Structure 1
């Protein structure tokens, strides 16, 4: 059975992938991954902004029968993309991403099973339209884990096209 501990460990292990990108050239880091798409910098800023938003704004509200209204995702995404292109360095963006995910995982580890499976309403919906399951912390984080993997695939394809091979290390 896939446990909450498994979920949190898998969610936090995305940091191993993030760390592996410290070695790529800064020009590639800030280059759009495809026509009309974000750069790796913008993608990681986007994920980092969401990690912070979840930890600070959404997670504290996720309780049984809560009615939660989330920020419009485009608003947060635009802020994240703008920040990524503001002159912040690759090193700082990656460090911020690592720290935000670690902080969020730490807060998640303090939740018990009952909290993880408490059902709530999000943006007027009791059932997540993507998974078909009720909104719970467990399902919400699982959705973001899918989201991480989606972006990881995009980045991997881009880097492969550029002839860059990543080495993901077991230690952070």
Structure 2
């Protein structure tokens, strides 16, 4: 979890953590389609697929969670990760890397806008869990997810 000087800067800083991935993904636009469609390791996703996967999870937050965030609310559970990830990858069929990157960037900007408009002190639960969540906690989980995939992509591209 992050430590902040004051609450006023907290959501701005958290939104900035999500914005970092936008900046990283924008830089991927300089790579050619072939590079972006090579699996990062044998049997693993390509950069194109990783970005599509991130886009799909951002959409889940925008469509299924953020509209329901309110004090004491019980939000829908996260879907089965394996099933959801397979659906994410299947949804990329016929889309080139550039289109997926553009979709991620616009979707992430919308996510940042929506989550930044929420009070970061709102406490809620996710169905199936007794854990108390806040927007801060959700952003932290997705920021860590971003960093994992960013590191995978950076390692792959540094060897190309």
Q: Is the 8 A contact 2:19 2:112 kept in 1?
A: yes
Equivalents in 2 of 1:119, 1:110: separation in Å?
Answer: 15
* TM-score, scaled relative to structure 2: 0.88
> What is the DSSP-based 3-state SS (H/G/I as helix, E as strand, rest coil) of the residue aligned with 2:42?
coil
Give 1:38-53 correspondences, 5 Å limit: 38-53=45-60
Distance in 2 separating the partners of 1:66 and 1:111: 14
In the alignment, structure 1 segments of 5+ residues that lack a partner are 128-133, 163-172
Matched, 1:137 2:144: no
Alignment of 1:88-127 (within 5 A): 88-112=95-119, 116-127=120-131
Q: Indicate the RMSD between aligned Cα atoms, in angstroms.
A: 1.4
Shift of 1:59: 1.2
**Which of the numbers 59, 79, 95 marks the counterpart of 2:87?**
79
Aligned match of 2:78: 70
CA contact (8 A) 1:58 1:70 kept: no
- The alignment's TM-score, normalised by the length of structure 1, stands at 0.82
Q: Structure 2 CA distance, aligned partners of 1:53 and 1:13?
A: 20
Gaps of 5+ in 2: 5-9
SS in 2 for 1:13: helix
Q: Secondary structure at the match of 1:23?
A: coil
The answer on whether the counterparts of 2:69 and 2:124 sit within 8 Å (CA) in structure 1 is yes
Q: How many residues align?
A: 152
